[in-house]
Amino acid sequence: MYMSDNKSGDSTYKKSEKKYSKEIVLAKWEDRFVAWLIDFVIVSIIINILFYAFSVEYSFPFWGIYIDGENGMGIKHPEEYIIASSIFFIYWVVLEFLSGQTIGKRVIHIKATTLSGERPNIVNIAIEVFGKSFLLPIDIVLGLIFSSRRRQRIFNKVSGTIVIKLKKTDDDENDRIKYIKDY
């Protein structure tokens, strides 16, 4: 890159520096876990109420998963797991599509975005959420094994999404304003 010296008019070569146009702060695994836990509790309570209202036996919070020496590991009522996971799927897809945040993510101040920090489309969100809803243990373990610098689970990689930490903006500065009603 050539730059002109204002004083003498001589052109000098200046080594260009790599500059990033956007800084994206990736959410910590701990923040993501806490947000997931908040969502898990909220949705599990809703599921429990729905299952109770329709008189369906529900083995909160493990969806009938059993582990024993004779039979190994399995799910007593697979339909229970499918229904509960489908409710989680709908919850996450709807909220993340509308705002990029679920209730848990909003509380922790994190958000799902594309790799460039933009809002993901419904297909990206559905792919990302599928792993979280139906295959979370596998998704996390494989994500940690094949971890990237972007802190992505496997379904985050497939969907091209990341979870970012939201920064305080100028709009947040208005928190110092006290609003008083005129009576």
Mean pLDDT of 59-77: 57
Does the N-terminal peptide bond of residue 120 adopt cis geometry, omega within 30 degrees of 0? no
Mean pLDDT of 67-85: 68
Residue 89 has pLDDT above 90, yes or no: yes
Average pLDDT of the chain? 76
Q: Is the pLDDT higher at 44 or at 93?
A: 93
Rounded Cα gap, residues 126 and 105, in angstroms: 17
Mean pLDDT of 106-123: 91
Residue 170 has pLDDT above 70, yes or no: no
Q: Is the pLDDT higher at 149 or at 35?
A: 35
pLDDT tens-digit series, residues 53-64: 776 655 544 455
Alpha-helix runs per DSSP H in 54-163: 78-99, 103-108, 122-134, 136-145, 154-159
Cβ neighbour number for residue 166 with a 10 Å cutoff: 17
For the full predicted model, state whether its pTM sits above 0.75: no
Q: Is the pLDDT higher at 91 or at 20?
A: 91
